[in-house]
Structure 1
Amino acid sequence: MKLSALVVARNEQDRLPDCLASLGFADEVVVVLDRTTDASAAIARAAGARILEGAWELEGERRNAGIDACTGDWVLEVDADERVSPDLAQAVRATIATSAFAWHQVPVDNYVGDRLIRHGWAGSFGTTSVPRLFRRGAKRWRMQRVHPGLDWTGTQGPKITQGALIHLVDRDIADMLKRLDRYSTAKARDLVASGDIGSLAGNCRRFVSRAFKSYVSRRGYKEGAWGVLLAFCTGAFPLLSYLKARLEPGKHRE
């Protein structure tokens, strides 16, 4: 079975080399560069990757373009701030050699700086498992800017349990808050475009329910003060997106 590794990036020259170095087990590496102005293209070429350059407004659109560019029987999606551990690489090769299913979840280890945070990831702000390994043709992203939905063809297989994607989520707390601002801005644009931004009461309830899920259900309390921070950001994402769409609609209109 031929395996394609797909990386979608924008101005990731600092993180791209380590990401690509972890993908040596793949038969093909495809790098999609979206409006990139740094040295990412040269880095990808030096690593032997095939490159697709362009400009895509929607995350789902550029990810689908990358999938279409892959030629493998199976595709493993990896972001530039992620690295595939050796154990996961071995598990992926073993899975595609025998799997009768269309797609599999892959475990994720999330880091903020040098700290591994195992608990509290929930909703659109982070996760400990992602559906990244799939047969070509089984997965399509929907046309949204941030965390687009997925449409699947075929049956989900067992989750891979060996190894992990090493996800360097944020460099520090300031970086985490910048990500919250960036994600909520993109989501506000989707809300304004949809014509249905929701209600203040509904999004206040979502703030509470998502923060509770992060801190209690996903055991963020095990991370101490880091769990509180993660719960706040998880809950704030939909509320802040709504407030941007309601209070500043002109700034978030096409």
Structure 2
Amino acid sequence: MRTLPLTLVVITHNEAHTIARCLDSIPFAAEKLVVDSGSDDDTVAIARAHGARVVQQEWLGFGPQRNFATTQCTHDWILALDADESLSPELVAELERELPALMASDAPAAWLRRRTIYMGRPMRWYRPSVGEKLARIYHRDRARWTDARVHESLRFEGRAPTFTAPFDHANNPTLPHKQLKVLRYAELKCRDWLEKGKPVRMWQAPFVYLLAFLKDYVFRLAMLDGWRGFLIAQTAASYALYKRMRYYEMRQNPASVAEAEAVLRRHGIDR
């Protein structure tokens, strides 16, 4: 199988259970780069054994970490995946056919569609988990990740094509995984709000929970995925509410920022 002048980039921290599947799912990348932020499991050894070059970088936040990774790539065209994501065989075949034309063009990026595996099987109806469009292929001189600590996105100008076949996201293999991620993501988002001086509006909290639940359960069709859909909607609504509760605490008790950082780090949640 021929390789293409493209770098696969994966940012990692303790991803020993998923990194091999991710790396092995992309056979056409001329370079595979893992940017690791101090894993203390076998992530680095496994990544190297599966053909990746590993660069160590202290954690900067999702957006800055991805932008740092971009500077370490050998090739201008980049495919960015998370360690719990992998390409389907159908998408591999599509990219092998279509990528050469994309890379010869002046397009800044391309969209991929993500399919979420939740509780062991794909979601069938919940809209963000069925064909969610994400910009994951890009030219490093024509696109850049936002500097957000969490929920970063790729920014570019101009038209970008969309590939049809999906890539897979093994989303939070257990509910404890999800709850730990909620704690981590909420903390990062609240620190962004704190830096920007976002006003505290706790009166919105009950409405935020209700509206977030209805958005996912009804309007995004989670209800059609049965109890799995209910759990997704409830978790999303709880996250929306918890962020505001935690931000209120940060504003009321600034010392809680450092105290929470210490306890999350002690339990391997914060980076």
**Normalising by structure 1, what TM-score?**
0.88
Structure 1 residue 196, shift from structure 2 partner: 1.1
Q: Which residue of 1 aligns with 2:46?
A: 43
Give the number of aligned pairs: 250
CA shift digits 1:169-209 (9 cap, x unpaired)? 11122322222222212222222222215412345433333
Say whether the 8 Å CA contact 2:84–2:169 is kept in structure 1.
yes
Residue 133 (1) aligns with residue 125 (2)? no
Structure-1 separation of matches of 2:124 and 2:188? 26
Equivalent position of 1:118 in the other structure: 124
Identity of aligned residues (%): 27
Which of 170, 175, 178 pairs up with 2:177? Answer: 175
The alignment status of 1:73 with 2:76, answered yes or no, reads yes
- CA contact under 8 A between 1:5 and 1:29: conserved in structure 2? yes
Q: Per-residue CA shift, 1:64-96, capped at 9, x if unaligned?
A: 111111122321111111111111112223332
Residue 43 of structure 1 and its aligned partner are, at CA, apart by 1.5
Distance 1:182 1:197, change over 3 A: farther
Structure showing greater Rg: 2
- 1:98 is aligned to 101
Deviations 1:46-78 (A, max 9, x none): 222121102023111111111111122321111
Looking at structure 2, the residues matched to 73 and 96 of structure 1 have their Cα atoms a distance apart, in angstroms, of 13
Aligned counterpart, 1:220:
222
Q: 1:250 aligns with which of 255, 258, 261?
A: 255
- Contact between 2:135 and 2:154, CA under 8 Å: does it hold in 1? no
Aligned partner (choices 13, 16, 22) of residue 16 of structure 2: 13
Change (3 A) 1:53 1:127: farther
- Kept in 1: contact 2:208–2:237 (CA 8 A): yes
Question: SS where residue 216 of structure 2 aligns?
Answer: helix
Match of 2:268?
none
2:158 to 155, 160, 172: 155
Q: Which structure would you say has the larger RCO, counting Cα contacts within 8 Å and 6 or more residues apart?
A: 1
- SS of the residue corresponding to residue 27 of structure 1 reads strand
Q: TM-score, length-normalised on structure 2?
A: 0.83
Residue aligning to 1:237: 239
Moved more, 31-40 or 92-101: 92-101
Mapped contact 1:33–1:41 kept (Cα < 8 A): yes
1:88 matched residue in structure 2? 91
SS of equivalent to 1:118:
coil
Give the AA of the match of 1:97.
P
Shift of 1:229: 1.4
Partners of 1:250 and 1:95 lie apart in 2 by 52
